[in-house]
Amino acid sequence: MGPFRVALSGDFRKADGSPTFPDFDLTPLAQAKDVEMVFLDNASPIRGDQLEDFDALILLAHRFDATSVPKSGRLAVVARFGVGYDTVDVPACTANDIALAITPDGVRRPVAVSILTFILALTGKMMVKDKLARQGGPGFAARGQHMGVGLVGKTLGSLGVGNIGAEMFRLAKPFDMNFIAHDPFADKRVAAELGIELVSLEELFRRADILCVNCPLTPETHHIVNAERLALMKPTAYLINTARGPIVDQKALTRVLQENRIAGAGLDVFEQEPTDPNDQLLRLDNLIAAPHALCWTDQCFAGNGAADIRAVLDVMKGQVPRGVVNREVLETDGFKAKLAAFGTRFG
């Protein structure tokens, strides 16, 4: 019998063959017994013929759709580098007995820290104060016109209380804020432990002084932050989105910021990525923007990579990996047969 073959999407390497992200340590995979690791050619969506002879795929940013599924039926797991999976056709995976695994442990703390970075930068007026400092005397003379906002007693709201949302609240505890959230799937025990009041969607927008988007992009959450709900927010409130751009109606947010109907926004994600440099949104002083990379740190990428390798090696041993999105696939005869065969060969 041959080795357990693992493919890595081509975007893990630069054109010169060097690693795109050196902090992704492939050593545990390269040194694992009975494992063969291969980088695919760059293609997005990934083509099914590229994966015919592979048991596992570690996927960065390339798309995996129905045409990516190999006809051989051999592929057992797609390990996504991160927690977003809007680039993956989940039903196609399930229909073909392929588990989709993500890396919640790798991104939980880094993304929560990036949210706090936005909170402190926005309420502390960091961007305008940086400009003032560079102006010398005139800037220092104008500093009293740009007073920051204290956090004690303010209301921190979250649209979603999953892995990242809960971690955000944990990290925000020392600021003595009030916590509210809307999440129809929230774990009430976790919410109670963290002191989070679960509220309706409209109440979340009305009450939050800082409203953070921490939900996945689904058909139900697409443009859930729209003109109608933005109109409910306080003029002193801030909106932060580090989840996925299309959750927020960007045109509606642009109008709200242009008209100063909320105090500001922090965006790490956008409806169009890369952004259009001429987008009116990017010209606004009450916006702080990052290129879908605010959580990108050495620790984040090391954690994501380690989680993906662990998921792949778990499948190789015939074990269910952590972070499976399409849990229903675990009950299919086809996936069970794949795991059993791997367990017999490599377990």
273 an active-site residue? yes
Question: Which residues are CB-neighbours of 250 under 8 A, at least 6 positions away?
Answer: 270, 271, 281
For 179, which DSSP code?
E
- Upper half-sphere CA count for residue 332 (Cβ side, 13 Å): 15
Angstrom distances, CA of residue 54 to CA of 36, 67, 71, 238: 9, 15, 11, 46
Cis peptide before 45 (omega within 30 of 0): yes
Q: Indicate which residue of 52, 193, 228, 273 is catalytic.
A: 273
Cis peptide before 19 (omega within 30 of 0): no
Give CA–CA dist 60/87, Å, rounded: 10
Residue 57 main-chain phi, psi, to 5 deg: -130, 130
Go through the chain and tell me how many residues it has: 347
Q: Indicate which residue of 182, 207, 244, 310 is catalytic.
A: 244
Q: What share of the chain is helix, strand, coil (3-state, %, to 5)?
A: 40, 15, 45
Point out the residues that are catalytic.
244, 273, 292
